[in-house]
Amino acid sequence: MALILNIETATTVCSVCLAKDGKLIALKEINGDYSHAENLTLFIEHVFKQANLKLTDVEAIAVSKGPGSYTGLRIGVSTAKGLCYSLNKPLIAIDTLQHMALSVSSNLQTSNNYEQSLYCPMLDARRMEVYCAIYDKDNICAVPTLAFIVEEDSFSYFLKGKVVYYFGDGAAKCAKIIRGKEMFYIADIFPSAKNMITLSEKAFNNNLFEDVAYFEPFYLKDFMIGKKKGEK
pLDDT band at 230; cut points 50, 70, 90: very low
Question: Helix 96-107 vs helix 197-205: angle between axes, to the nearest 10 degrees?
Answer: 110
Pairing label, strands 163-167, 183-186: parallel
CATH 3.30.420.40 corresponds to the domain 3-95+191-205: yes
What's the pTM? 0.91
**Segment 187-210, tens digit of pLDDT:** 999 999 999 999 999 999 999 999
**Segment 60-105, tens digit of pLDDT:** 999 999 999 999 999 999 999 999 999 999 999 999 999 999 999 9
* Residue with more model confidence, 13 or 150: 13
CA distance linking residue 96 with residue 134, whole number of Å? 12
Residue 178 has pLDDT above 70, yes or no: yes
Q: Where in the chain are the domains?
A: 3-95+191-205, 97-186
**Segment 15-61, tens digit of pLDDT:** 999 999 999 999 999 998 778 999 999 999 999 999 999 999 999 99
The whole-number pLDDT of residue 175 equals 81
Topology agreement, domain 3-95+191-205 and domain 97-186: yes
**Segment 100-151, tens digit of pLDDT:** 999 999 988 766 676 788 999 999 988 888 999 999 999 999 989 988 888 7
97-186: CATH class: alpha beta
Q: In this structure, is the dihedral angle defined by the CA atoms of residues 149, 154, 178 and 167, taken in order, positive or negative?
A: negative
CA angle 228, 229, 232 (to 5 degrees): 75
